[in-house]
Structure 1
Amino acid sequence: MSDLLPFSAALYQLLAGVEPLPAETLPLDACAGRVLAEPVTARLTQPPFDAAAMDGYAIRWTDLHNSWRVVGESAAGHGWAGTLGPQEAVRIFTGAPLPAGADVIVVQEEVARDGDLARLNGEGPPRIGAHIRPAGQDFAAGAPLIAAGKCLTAAHLGLAAAGGWRALPVVRRPRVTLIATGDELVLPGETPGPGQIVSSNPPMLTALLRSAGAEVHDPGIIPDNRAALAAALTGAEADLIITIGGASVGDHDLVVPVLRELGADLDFWKIALRPGKPLLAGRLGGTRVLGLPGNPVSAFVTALLFAVPLVSRMAGRQQALPIVTLPLATPLPANGSRRDHLRARRTPDGAEPFARQDSALLSLLASAELLIIREAHAPAASAGEPVSCIALDMFHSVF
């Protein structure tokens, strides 16, 4: 594993064989944003009866130009039980069952009424069946409603409820444990001591992973201690463990040696990527492990490129990162042997990379709207040339 693995090979290797997690059944109000595990068919017919689409009078079409005797009333939840006869009408309200014998509704604005007598006082309905929603107009019992694999929206949940469902089978959320290591770290809100910094990666990555469908657990900062790290790794009840920092080759970088001591299988370690070369992937028993670098921008970029697709696939989602092609606002030099991701903004002239690209600059990452993708060994690019970009400003509308 001494050679740097190309980005595309590393991503392919990471995602190979990944399937959605098993299903769980949840009430409708807990299903928004979850992926449907099985197709849903209608248990009911909607509407279950011929229903009024307007307030007015239910009559027979053949009696449209006659006067009518009003013999009853049909309201939502309180239908009229009789059968309409010649020159009879039933006062009816939107959503109410259509009386037997009626085949058209005259809207109330076109009816003149005097006591129990009524007549047409306008143009009238254009055709037989006007202003009536026929039974099964939306769907019939047994009809397919929602296909498996759909990420459930509010409208899907309304459809399922109307179709007779109160709970749905959805793909279980991937359980992700974040393990941030480092004696130099303190929790957000604490004042760093000499040589210390705030642990900013866990809240950032938690938000990113939750947007991809994960349930995230953060046990806190793990010190640079083999026993503490081993305990955190073996104690994680997770589908995916993500370590942050400690995956390089320094004397205090313990993730790789501790994983090996625990018998983990490492698929790869170090990839041809900027930012984010010290990335590892493997398995510890039946749990997947992804080791991210500790620099904040490197952690974000590698999580976006690797953890988000992995979690998304485990959650049953099939979305790809939003890629846009834009002209370069400024020229770029030739790229080296690692695929690069330049923080950039949108401008009227296209994608403009920031002048500074240091992997520790969170302020620029927070300002970035784009990541310009520069493939390994890409030649110099002039202003105006098209470049592929990951649209950070579109990411949360997709995931």
Structure 2
Amino acid sequence: MALLPVAEALERLLEGAAALPSESVPLADAAGRVLAEPVAALRTQPPFNASAMDGYAVRYTDVVSMPARLSVIGMAPAGRGFTGSVGKGEAVRIFTGAPLPEGADTVVIQENVRDLGGGSIEVIEPTAQARNVRRRGLDFGEGDVLLHKGRDLDPAALSLAASANHPSLNVVRQPFVAIIATGDELLPPGSALGPDQIISSNAYGVAAVAQSVGARALDLGIAADRKDAIAALVKKAVKAGADVIVTLGGASVGDHDLIHDVLTGEGMQLDFWKIAMRPGKPLMFGRLGDIRCVGLPGNPVASLVCSQLFLKPLLARLGGRPYRQDIRTAWLGSAMHANDIRQDYVRAVVREDAGALVATPFGIQDSSMLRMLADANGLIVREPYAPAAEAGAECSVLMLR
């Protein structure tokens, strides 16, 4: 099977992927979710002419000339408006958010008023007409569309929906990812290792990638290198309602790489297997009914790089989120050798220097070396057959953080 170019592999993986069906969730649980439909206001805000400051509600005609002496006829705290009417020479003590009493059209802030005692005040500074009054509907009116389909529900959007009197919202269902690690050599973190064993680390990074675009992740654990053990976890993922099944390791061509056989045996239609990229050549993709199956390489760096390039865009699209890789132009901090048939993603440290980005690749790029990936904040992208490049040459960088 010929190696598939990265761009074609991504196009095939995303083909037919669209936002999942919607569900209604309480507003308290909607943070970070994506709206499945527009949100219109169920009320007008503010619902009445309201005071924007603590002070006195007056008629503007009574405070045109300074000083102006007025009689205080009542009080209007927030939530308990004054029920009477303000007449000539009268004022009502008012607080922020309270309805403006009938007859009043202006609020004089308390700092510009002197209390004369006996229910009288003197306004000592002029105030413009309608000053310190929030007009009814200033923020929005009933029926106004406030939030559009596809909006990420950030703090401001959530507060706006609450203010518009929505106790719940229709949002895109979160993609659900089931993760299956494979390998007799793997044990979970905290284990006492035997001489031939290593720690299973990939699932944690892949789950974090999924969660970074709003997906839910279920780690189903480690399957031994037996078809029945792997098949049992695949069945468990299907039963759990996974939208995407991610397998870790076992997607190559060795005697113990059983993922392909198990998934096709369960009914998966293979789309592609083997990508012209480094790291990540043994990436596999297929469909098991409506479930998308992504077989990631076992090498930790390859697994995470493939998650960034393929899993992240897929889950974003299923979750109704726009997504684009952060690719920037930079200058090489050191020379690089000519490339071969595969597209390279080279771990690098990217720094700003005199207003330009300089990307310096690590000298060793072994796909098992996680520490180097943790230290990297970018991947230099080198096209197939890219010629050797000297330090200072232009390059493309996929930013990781």
Match of 2:144 in 1: 143
SS in 2 for 1:271: coil
Report the Cα distance in structure 2 between the residues aligned to 1:143 and 1:6, rounded to whole angstroms: 47
Match of 1:134 in 2: 135
Match of 1:383 in 2: 391
Superposition deviation, residue 388 in structure 1: 1.6
Report the Cα distance in structure 1 between the residues aligned to 2:297 and 2:290, rounded to whole angstroms: 23
* Structure 1 segment 196-345 matched on structure 2, within 5 A: 196-236=197-237, 237=240, 238-345=242-349
Match of 1:91 in 2: 93
Deviates more, 1:342-351 or 1:101-110: 342-351
The question of whether the paired residues in 2 share the 8 Å contact of 1:339 and 1:373 is answered with yes
Amino acid in structure 2 at the alignment position of 1:260: T
The question of whether the paired residues in 2 share the 8 Å contact of 1:329 and 1:347 is answered with no
Pairing 1:79–2:81 present = yes
Pairing 1:3–2:2 present = yes
Match of 2:119 in 1: 116
Report the Cα distance in structure 1 between the residues aligned to 2:58 and 2:8, rounded to whole angstroms: 71
Pairing 1:374–2:382 present = yes
Report the Cα distance in structure 2 between the residues aligned to 1:263 and 1:157, rounded to whole angstroms: 42
Deviates more, 1:211-220 or 1:292-301: 211-220
Superposition deviation, residue 316 in structure 1: 0.8
Report the Cα distance in structure 2 between the residues aligned to 1:373 and 1:135, rounded to whole angstroms: 55
Match of 2:14 in 1: 15
The question of whether the paired residues in 2 share the 8 Å contact of 1:279 and 1:292 is answered with yes
Deviates more, 1:280-289 or 1:240-249: 280-289
Match of 1:397 in 2: none
Question: TM-score scaled to structure 2, two decimals?
Answer: 0.95
Deviates more, 1:320-329 or 1:152-161: 320-329
Deviates more, 1:307-316 or 1:384-393: 384-393
Superposition deviation, residue 230 in structure 1: 1.4
SS in 2 for 1:366: helix
Match of 1:32 in 2: 31
SS in 2 for 1:206: helix
**Match for residue 357 of structure 1 among 361, 365, 381:** 365
SS in 2 for 1:281: strand
Deviations 1:267-314 (A, max 9, x none): 000010100000010012221100000000000000110011101111
Report the Cα distance in structure 1 between the residues aligned to 2:396 and 2:31, rounded to whole angstroms: 32
The question of whether the paired residues in 2 share the 8 Å contact of 1:111 and 1:119 is answered with yes
Report the Cα distance in structure 2 between the residues aligned to 1:200 and 1:228, rounded to whole angstroms: 19
Superposition deviation, residue 381 in structure 1: 2.3
Match of 1:171 in 2: 172
Match of 1:69 in 2: 71
Q: State the aligned residue count.
A: 390
Deviates more, 1:230-239 or 1:44-53: 230-239
Superposition deviation, residue 257 in structure 1: 1.6
Deviates more, 1:370-379 or 1:133-142: 370-379
Report the Cα distance in structure 1 between the residues aligned to 2:195 and 2:288, rounded to whole angstroms: 35
The question of whether the paired residues in 2 share the 8 Å contact of 1:149 and 1:316 is answered with yes
Which blocks of at least 5 consecutive residues in structure 2 are unaligned?
Answer: none
Deviations 1:91-129 (A, max 9, x none): 11111110011111111111122121122112x21x211
Match of 2:185 in 1: 184
Superposition deviation, residue 331 in structure 1: 1.9
Superposition deviation, residue 176 in structure 1: 0.6
Superposition deviation, residue 326 in structure 1: 1.6
Amino acid in structure 2 at the alignment position of 1:36: L
* Structure 1 segment 21-60 matched on structure 2, within 5 A: 21-60=20-59
Deviations 1:224-271 (A, max 9, x none): 001111121122131100010000010000011222222310000001
Report the Cα distance in structure 1 between the residues aligned to 2:19 and 2:174, rounded to whole angstroms: 9
Deviations 1:140-175 (A, max 9, x none): 110011101011101110000000101111111111
Match of 1:396 in 2: none
Report the Cα distance in structure 1 between the residues aligned to 2:272 and 2:303, rounded to whole angstroms: 17
Deviations 1:319-344 (A, max 9, x none): 21222222111122222111111111
Superposition deviation, residue 375 in structure 1: 1.4
Amino acid in structure 1 at the alignment position of 2:143: G
The question of whether the paired residues in 2 share the 8 Å contact of 1:58 and 1:92 is answered with yes
Report the Cα distance in structure 1 between the residues aligned to 2:94 and 2:394, rounded to whole angstroms: 62
SS in 2 for 1:263: coil
Report the Cα distance in structure 1 between the residues aligned to 2:144 and 2:258, rounded to whole angstroms: 56
Work out the percentage of aligned pairs sharing the same amino acid. Answer: 50
SS in 2 for 1:326: strand
